[in-house]
């Protein structure tokens, strides 16, 4: 074991060494085995970013079980759907999610045992297996981890990227190891700047349920660096942790960075020397410029849940020396250059390479092999032997730039909103004749949904009535609160394509600028 004395920190509450992590990973496996988990079973995790989550990153896959990282930002009904689809035997759940758990518990098909997690001393309900820490203390640290096939599935996660129901992606041990090695090689190799190295202090600011916090905790452990897990993202607390633990490397969506910058400004905290990879949504030059001017080494990356996720990183290479500041800023905001082993093309409808305006399709050994139990969507994803990102891009000078999106979805604060789903719900309102939901750029959230509505009778509809109407579905757990459009605009007619479908491309041009 390397770096046995290196430290892992959870908020102000826990501080232990890599040696301690290894011991607790053994305890976790023993505990899960005791609860009936066997090779091939699934274990679901619902927690904030914590040392416990890190323990599950290793303990569950290492015993040959599958870790389901539950997206706690989904609506209760969507969470229920993902749990009943992945069929975990055991669920580890933070007491903060008790309201969700209570709502769905009676409808959970597969969960036999629940392990209770609490930071605040909330006692484990009697119908659970007990408290995580109590159970861990009573478990054997000397679990024997056997060798098994590298193509065994290690983790699964549900993405709401495209339409309707969440879809399960899954990754094998082989894929996680390759993704870890390639990411470590790519992210540490620059001469200086835009790099993560063995002298850094790491704190994720992408939820650990989101494709393993972009795989970075696995990289951090290989690096042997100090790791800081922040719990729930509360801007003031994040800034305090960054300052107190001297965090030097993080990654997040633009919205979270904006939150942190605001909190740092309010508290007069100096973030100089902090390095941040931005992904999930486009990094605007305005935000990047603001960060750079505060001494933050910011750069973009690109990937998606289906791709484990890292495909490209916008690191500045030695050949870029002498770039003007504005050019360098523009480079930092591109999707970046493919990391090793990623074959990336931009192709037209007939799969011919085009220099710009083509769909980005990729091959790499760590891409999800399909959506769990959804053959048609899997086939569409891998049409022609390449994974289809549904993003439109251009490759110039080896650097990818995303220019448009094929999928009819909106990304707000790093989370996907299906416009089709919101359209479906709004169309149930008696006064709505036709509706289109589009994403419009938003400085805080990246994008926000806007509803364009053709009323049955002119002048009858008003915004607050529609908002209340959708709120019912939020309360019912069908959609997330952030899916409610920021604006409801009455229009005379909606543009259609030649086959009569909504022409979102034109609608976006007309209404989203």
Give the DSSP H or E segment for 121. none
Contact between residue 224 and residue 22 where contact means Cβ atoms under 8 Å apart: no
Contact between residue 462 and residue 427 where contact means Cβ atoms under 8 Å apart: no
Quote the strand ranges of 118-176, DSSP E. Answer: 130-131, 153-159, 167-172
CB of 152 to a copy of itself, least distance (A): 15
CB of 272 to a copy of itself, least distance (A): 17
SS3 category, 389:
strand
Closer to a copy of itself by Cβ: residue 62 or 178: 178
Closer to a copy of itself by Cβ: residue 97 or 214: 214
Strands 358-363 and 201-202: unpaired
DSSP result, 396-454: ETTEEEEEEE-S-EEEETTEEEEHHHHHHHHTTSTTEEEEEEEEEEETTTEEEEEEEEE
- The Cα 176–Cα 187 span in angstroms is 16
Closer to a copy of itself by Cβ: residue 295 or 340: 340
Closer to a copy of itself by Cβ: residue 338 or 414: 338
Which DSSP category does 208 fall into? T
Closer to a copy of itself by Cβ: residue 321 or 349: 321
CA-based R_g, the chain, Å: 23
CB of 5 to a copy of itself, least distance (A): 7
- Which among 122, 2, 104 is positioned nearest to 44, based on CA atoms? 104
Instruction: Report the Cα 496 to chain-centroid distance in Å.
Output: 33
CB of 335 to a copy of itself, least distance (A): 14
Contact between residue 340 and residue 185 where contact means Cβ atoms under 8 Å apart: yes
Using the structure block, give the residue that is written with the tokens 């041990």.
Answer: 173
Sorted by sequence, the CB contacts under 8 Å of residue 74 that are 6+ apart come out as 82, 158, 160, 166, 480
Label each residue of 315-373 as H, E or C: CCCHHHCCCCHHHHHHHHHCCEEECCCCEEEEECCCCCECCCCEEEEEECCCCCCCECC
Closer to a copy of itself by Cβ: residue 341 or 406: 341
- The Cα 422–Cα 485 span in angstroms is 9
- The Cα 74–Cα 159 span in angstroms is 10
CB of 65 to a copy of itself, least distance (A): 22
Closer to a copy of itself by Cβ: residue 90 or 344: 344
Contact between residue 41 and residue 65 where contact means Cβ atoms under 8 Å apart: yes
CB of 196 to a copy of itself, least distance (A): 8
Closer to a copy of itself by Cβ: residue 125 or 193: 193
Closer to a copy of itself by Cβ: residue 86 or 220: 220
Give the DSSP H or E segment for 411. strand 409-412
Using the structure block, give the residue that is written with the tokens 């910011």.
Answer: 298
Q: In the numeric block, which tokens belong to residue 439?
A: 């994403």
CB of 174 to a copy of itself, least distance (A): 10
Give the DSSP H or E segment for 185. helix 173-188
Where do contacts with a copy of itself occur on this chain (CB under 8 A)? 1-6, 177-178, 181-182, 184-185, 188-192, 197-200, 222-224, 317-319, 337-338, 340-341, 398
- The Cα 206–Cα 251 span in angstroms is 6
Residues assigned a catalytic role: 159, 306, 411, 416
What count of other Cβ atoms lies within 10 Å of the Cβ of residue 481? 11
CB of 151 to a copy of itself, least distance (A): 12
């Amino acid at each position: 074991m390397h770096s046995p004395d290196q430290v892992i920190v959870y908020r102000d509450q826990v501080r232990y060494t890599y040696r301690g992590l290894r011991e607790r990973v053994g305890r976790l496996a023993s505990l899960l085995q005791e609860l009936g988990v066997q090779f091939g079973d699934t274990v679901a995790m619902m927690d904030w970013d914590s040392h416990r989550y890190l323990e599950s990153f290793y303990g569950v896959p290492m015993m040959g079980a599958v870790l389901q990282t539950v997206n706690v930002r989904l609506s209760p009904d969507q969470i229920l759907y993902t749990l009943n689809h992945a069929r975990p035997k055991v669920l580890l759940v933070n007491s903060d999610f008790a309201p969700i758990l209570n709502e769905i518990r009676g409808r959970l098909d597969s969960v036999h045992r629940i392990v209770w997690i609490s930071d605040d001393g909330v006692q484990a309900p009697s119908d659970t297996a007990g408290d995580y820490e109590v159970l861990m203390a009573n478990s054997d640290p000397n679990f024997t981890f056997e060798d098994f096939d590298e193509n065994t599935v290690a983790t699964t996660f549900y993405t709401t990227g495209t339409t309707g129901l969440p879809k399960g992606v899954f990754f094998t041990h082989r894929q996680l190891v390759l993704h870890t090695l390639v990411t470590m090689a790519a992210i540490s190799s620059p001469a200086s700047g835009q790099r993560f190295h063995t002298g850094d202090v790491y704190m994720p600011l992408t939820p650990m349920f989101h494709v393993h916090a972009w795989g970075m905790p696995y990289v951090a452990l290989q690096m042997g660096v100090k790791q800081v897990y922040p719990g729930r993202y509360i801007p003031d607390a994040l800034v305090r942790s960054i300052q107190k633990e001297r965090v030097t490397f993080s990654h997040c969506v633009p919205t979270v960075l904006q939150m942190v910058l605001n909190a740092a400004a309010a508290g007069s905290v100096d973030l100089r020397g902090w390095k941040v990879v931005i992904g999930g949504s486009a990094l605007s030059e305005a935000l990047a410029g603001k960060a750079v001017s505060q001494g933050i080494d910011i750069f973009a990356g690109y990937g998606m849940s289906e791709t484990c996720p890292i495909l490209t990183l916008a690191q500045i290479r030695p050949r870029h020396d002498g770039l003007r500041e504005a050019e360098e800023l523009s480079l930092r905001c591109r999707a970046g250059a493919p990391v090793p082993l990623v074959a990336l093309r931009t192709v037209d409808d007939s799969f011919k390479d085009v220099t710009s305006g083509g769909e980005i399709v990729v091959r790499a050994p760590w891409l999800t092999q399909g959506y769990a139990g959804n053959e048609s969507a899997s086939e569409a994803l891998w049409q022609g032997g390449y994974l289809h990102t549904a993003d439109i891009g251009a490759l110039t000078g080896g650097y990818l730039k995303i220019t448009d999106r094929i999928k009819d979805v909106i990304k707000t604060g790093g989370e996907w909103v299906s416009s089709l789903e919101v359209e479906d719900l709004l169309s149930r309102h008696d006064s709505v004749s036709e509706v289109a939901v589009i994403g419009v750029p938003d400085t805080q959230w990246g994008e926000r949904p806007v509803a364009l509505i053709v009323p049955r009778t002119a002048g009858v509809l008003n915004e607050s009535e529609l908002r209340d109407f959708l709120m019912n579905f939020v309360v019912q757990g069908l959609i997330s609160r952030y899916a409610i459009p920021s604006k409801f605009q009455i229009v005379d007619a909606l543009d259609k394509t030649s086959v009569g479908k909504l022409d979102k491309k034109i609608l976006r041009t007309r209404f989203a600028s």
